[in-house]
Chains A and B, each alone.
Chain A
């Protein structure tokens, strides 16, 4: 009894300890934050850059706003839009916009500005590569000053979540500034966001200052954010250790530094497991992968924990389905085969012929390492894999042309699994890399995208995962996980949705 009692007290005390500081220590305003990014940012004009990489999106999240934002649980919350509603078939979404918001150049934000941005990206005359990502947006209408309507070609239940990410398509840029600055706009972007671009040296730091008239009262807390491209991971970590950066982007291939930082009390490692994963596709029309026994054998022969240990000191988190821990799709049973070398060997023996094939890997040290580990696993199972090193871009071409036996691919973080699952597995899709057709799979994919009930959808996507895993047409390596290493005084960092480290809510202790 006394033991139970003390457990209860300590639980209460624990709750007390964890809750109290959070409320007692108010967010402090002021201060400057220096952020180490991975890459140089080429600019922000969608027509010029086509797509924002992670570094550009991190900067965009500071200077621009999106219609919605994602909270800790990954649910859409109001940002530039206050409320939203949808048509019954989820093909039309209407957003009511926040009144009184101004761009940094003083011009007013309204429905026309949203329409202008999307129309400009979709205009065939502009030949914007960014148009690809919004091909399912048929039109945008602005029926009232603060009402904007998106008309979609496919049903999108999670549209408000999809427009939350600071991508090239979603951030709202100032129509007036785009018109006024012309070719110079790319490096002089104007948004409604919490920070205003102050200066930008070529190939070097972007200095952003607090937007004094930001629509959210009292925000942002920081006076200034400096973004520095630091492409070398050692240099990026050194800049943190030397006190020149307050927070740096990192990934699990830099595991030595992440593990070092975890031991350092002055530093904090922030990590976020998103949705999506690193994946591999078998070409099921090419021997020996036209036989399901071979595919299953190879998948069973993979010891993911060991793979992770070799590549990233165990930081990489094994994936058993394409959705990942960060996704709202939760599967009790995703149908993944457990590691079983004996069964794999038996299947290969049963197949009877020698299993020899080539796997594409990117011609980078990482690509080679990943391939060599698989090579060893499969050798033990009795299969002979030859590594074919190709340029990153060649993988895309070869994949589209189906000129491969086994190719790496990636499922990126998106708020909804539908766009990628539909493209990757619906028969006849150009991205159906496995060349695999199954009416049952098609029916599940068709139903999942229009089912309103989230639990039922989740169950459909789990059934899809079970089918893919059982047929072993694709397999998954590791979940998409994102890292940032920060000084301990950096507080208020949210989740890294889609791998974007948004430092706009940060305050310094």
Chain B
């Protein structure tokens, strides 16, 4: 088990280096020079040259990359070009919002997907199955921002049950925090559950045809026990993989959802950084998100091994 853990951890290093390199290159190749953005209407060639020198943009690309990477290894993510705010502090201040949003969204999606998938698998081909699969398919084709606007219209503007925008820190107002999070989390969850449901449903249908399930039935075990204990665990491997991979989609969705619902998370930070060409913030956020994504998938691998002992032995 320890060896497995170490090998998987070893894979992380090259992946993260590749991520930092790509992030840096993309940020550097974006059109629109930071010095020009900062100078705006006073961007004469002389002032641009002076500012580029001040913030080190006149250094060669490789040198800027290496010094940025060196800083990260010592925990220094640099400072925002625009405000001088340390990048790490800016990210950490906004991270709780995004984490809460994604966690709630993933949980909600699972809570919708698992019961529906089990019910659909048990009665596969029946009318319930067909309706739910149909809804899932339809929901897959509604983009996040659209779902967000619909939810805001119904629950915030018409019914006035929940706030349309805003965020309150949990420490200040726990109830207000949860209320503000319901619609954003639901928006993301609505985009996620169809995928999870469909994956679990098809795995579950396959599992239910296994001999040992027939055996369990023959033993006279209760339906509920067969479904939730005997069938769910072996059927959930793909579900967990997909849930892990979904983190990427969730982060992408969070960028949109945070903008629509005005949540001060890292998605908003990222968008602001792109608009203002604040490369330090941009690089920092993308690196953070990528590292988070890689780590989550690393954890998924571990959970895999816990769920299915065969995986531990194969590797």
Q: Which of chain A's residues 215-262 have a Cβ closer than 8 Å to chain B?
A: 228-232, 234-236, 238-239, 241-245
Verify if B39 is at the interface (C-beta below 8 Å from A).
yes
**A-contacting 9-mer, from B60-68, B224-232, B256-264, B298-306:** B256-264
**A40 and B93 alpha carbons, distance in the complex (Å):** 14
Which residues of A lie under 8 Å from residue B152 when comparing CB positions? 235, 238, 242
Which residues of A lie under 8 Å from residue B272 when comparing CB positions? 39-40, 203, 231
Which residues of A lie under 8 Å from residue B164 when comparing CB positions? 235, 238-239, 241-242, 244
Verify if B42 is at the interface (C-beta below 8 Å from A).
yes
Verify if A186 is at the interface (C-beta below 8 Å from B).
yes
Q: With a 10 A CB-CB cut-off, give which of B54, B84, B164 has the most chain A CB atoms.
A: B164
Quick check: B262 and A235 within 8 Å, CB to CB?
Answer: yes
Quick check: A204 and B167 within 8 Å, CB to CB?
Answer: yes
**A-contacting 9-mer, from B28-36, B109-117, B124-132:** B28-36
Verify if B27 is at the interface (C-beta below 8 Å from A).
no
Which residues of A lie under 8 Å from residue B160 when comparing CB positions? 242-243
Verify if A394 is at the interface (C-beta below 8 Å from B).
yes
Verify if B140 is at the interface (C-beta below 8 Å from A).
no
Verify if B82 is at the interface (C-beta below 8 Å from A).
yes
Which residues of B lie under 8 Å from residue A11 when comparing CB positions? none
Quick check: A391 and B268 within 8 Å, CB to CB?
Answer: no
Verify if B94 is at the interface (C-beta below 8 Å from A).
yes
Point out the residue from B54, B84, B153, B169 that lies within 8 Å of A127, measured CB to CB: B54
- Give the shortest distance, in Å, between B110 (CB) and chain A (any CB): 27
Evaluate whether A129 and B169 lie within 8 angstroms (CB atoms) in the complex, with A203-B94, A232-B260, A397-B43 already known. Answer: no
Which residues of B lie under 8 Å from residue A39 when comparing CB positions? 272
Which residues of A lie under 8 Å from residue B269 when comparing CB positions? 203
Q: Which of chain A's residues 34-69 have a Cβ closer than 8 Å to chain B?
A: 39-40, 42-43, 48-51
Point out the residue from A132, A229, A241, A393 that lies within 8 Å of B36, measured CB to CB: A393
Verify if A430 is at the interface (C-beta below 8 Å from B).
yes
**A245 and B163 alpha carbons, distance in the complex (Å):** 11
Q: A51-B40, A235-B262 are in contact. List 18 more A-B contacts (CB 8 A).
A: A42-B83, A48-B83, A48-B84, A127-B50, A129-B38, A203-B268, A232-B262, A234-B260, A235-B164, A235-B259, A236-B165, A238-B156, A242-B156, A242-B164, A242-B165, A243-B160, A394-B32, A397-B33
**A241 and B154 alpha carbons, distance in the complex (Å):** 12
Point out the residue from A42, A129, A228, A231 that lies within 8 Å of B166, measured CB to CB: A228
Closest A residue by C-beta to B45: A400
Q: Which of chain B's residues 156-186 have a Cβ closer than 8 Å to chain A?
A: 156-157, 160, 163-167, 169
Verify if A403 is at the interface (C-beta below 8 Å from B).
no
Point out the residue from A183, A243, A392 that lies within 8 Å of B32, measured CB to CB: A392
Which residues of A lie under 8 Å from residue B153 when comparing CB positions? 238
- Give the shortest distance, in Å, between B165 (CB) and chain A (any CB): 4
**A305 and B90 alpha carbons, distance in the complex (Å):** 46
Quick check: A244 and B54 within 8 Å, CB to CB?
Answer: no
A residues at B contact (CB < 8 Å) = 39-40, 42-43, 48-51, 127, 129, 132, 183, 186-187, 201-205, 228-232, 234-236, 238-239, 241-245, 391-394, 396-397, 400-401, 430
**A244 and B168 alpha carbons, distance in the complex (Å):** 13
Quick check: B165 and A400 within 8 Å, CB to CB?
Answer: no
**A196 and B31 alpha carbons, distance in the complex (Å):** 40
**A195 and B270 alpha carbons, distance in the complex (Å):** 31
Quick check: A201 and B32 within 8 Å, CB to CB?
Answer: no
Quick check: B268 and A186 within 8 Å, CB to CB?
Answer: no
Q: 18 pairs across A/B with beta carbons < 8 Å?
A: A39-B272, A40-B268, A48-B84, A186-B83, A201-B93, A202-B90, A204-B262, A205-B166, A229-B262, A230-B262, A232-B260, A238-B153, A238-B156, A242-B165, A244-B163, A244-B166, A394-B31, A400-B44
Closest A residue by C-beta to B82: A42
Quick check: A391 and B44 within 8 Å, CB to CB?
Answer: no
Quick check: B262 and A239 within 8 Å, CB to CB?
Answer: yes
Evaluate whether A183 and B84 lie within 8 angstroms (CB atoms) in the complex, with A397-B36, A397-B43 already known. Answer: yes
**A293 and B156 alpha carbons, distance in the complex (Å):** 57
Point out the residue from B42, B43, B93, B261 that lies within 8 Å of A393, measured CB to CB: B43
Quick check: A186 and B84 within 8 Å, CB to CB?
Answer: yes
Q: Which of chain B's residues 58-96 have a Cβ closer than 8 Å to chain A?
A: 80, 82-85, 90, 93-94
Point out the residue from A43, A396, A397, A430 that lies within 8 Å of B83, measured CB to CB: A43
**A236 and B260 alpha carbons, distance in the complex (Å):** 9
Closest A residue by C-beta to B32: A391
Verify if B245 is at the interface (C-beta below 8 Å from A).
no
Closest A residue by C-beta to B36: A393
Quick check: B42 and A129 within 8 Å, CB to CB?
Answer: yes
Which residues of A lie under 8 Å from residue B43 when comparing CB positions? 393, 396-397, 400
Closest A residue by C-beta to B149: A234
Q: Which of chain B's residues 199-248 have a Cβ closer than 8 Å to chain A?
A: none
- Give the shortest distance, in Å, between B40 (CB) and chain A (any CB): 7
Quick check: B271 and A231 within 8 Å, CB to CB?
Answer: yes
Evaluate whether A203 and B32 lie within 8 angstroms (CB atoms) in the complex, with A242-B164, A430-B44 already known. Answer: no
**A243 and B156 alpha carbons, distance in the complex (Å):** 9
Verify if B291 is at the interface (C-beta below 8 Å from A).
no
**A394 and B149 alpha carbons, distance in the complex (Å):** 34
Quick check: B165 and A238 within 8 Å, CB to CB?
Answer: yes
**A245 and B156 alpha carbons, distance in the complex (Å):** 13
**A40 and B90 alpha carbons, distance in the complex (Å):** 13
Which residues of B lie under 8 Å from residue A43 when comparing CB positions? 83, 85
Quick check: B90 and A394 within 8 Å, CB to CB?
Answer: no
**A234 and B261 alpha carbons, distance in the complex (Å):** 10
**A334 and B164 alpha carbons, distance in the complex (Å):** 47
- Give the shortest distance, in Å, between B7 (CB) and chain A (any CB): 39
**A203 and B92 alpha carbons, distance in the complex (Å):** 12
Which residues of A lie under 8 Å from residue B36 when comparing CB positions? 393-394, 396-397
**A277 and B141 alpha carbons, distance in the complex (Å):** 42
Quick check: B259 and A202 within 8 Å, CB to CB?
Answer: no
**A187 and B82 alpha carbons, distance in the complex (Å):** 13
Quick check: A49 and B82 within 8 Å, CB to CB?
Answer: yes
**A430 and B45 alpha carbons, distance in the complex (Å):** 11
**A201 and B264 alpha carbons, distance in the complex (Å):** 8
Which residues of A lie under 8 Å from residue B166 when comparing CB positions? 205, 228, 239, 244
- Give the shortest distance, in Å, between A103 (CB) and chain B (any CB): 23
**A187 and B84 alpha carbons, distance in the complex (Å):** 11
Closest B residue by C-beta to A131: B42
Evaluate whether A235 and B260 lie within 8 angstroms (CB atoms) in the complex, with A230-B165, A400-B44 already known. Answer: yes
Quick check: B264 and A204 within 8 Å, CB to CB?
Answer: yes
Closest A residue by C-beta to B153: A238
Quick check: A238 and B157 within 8 Å, CB to CB?
Answer: yes
**A37 and B253 alpha carbons, distance in the complex (Å):** 23
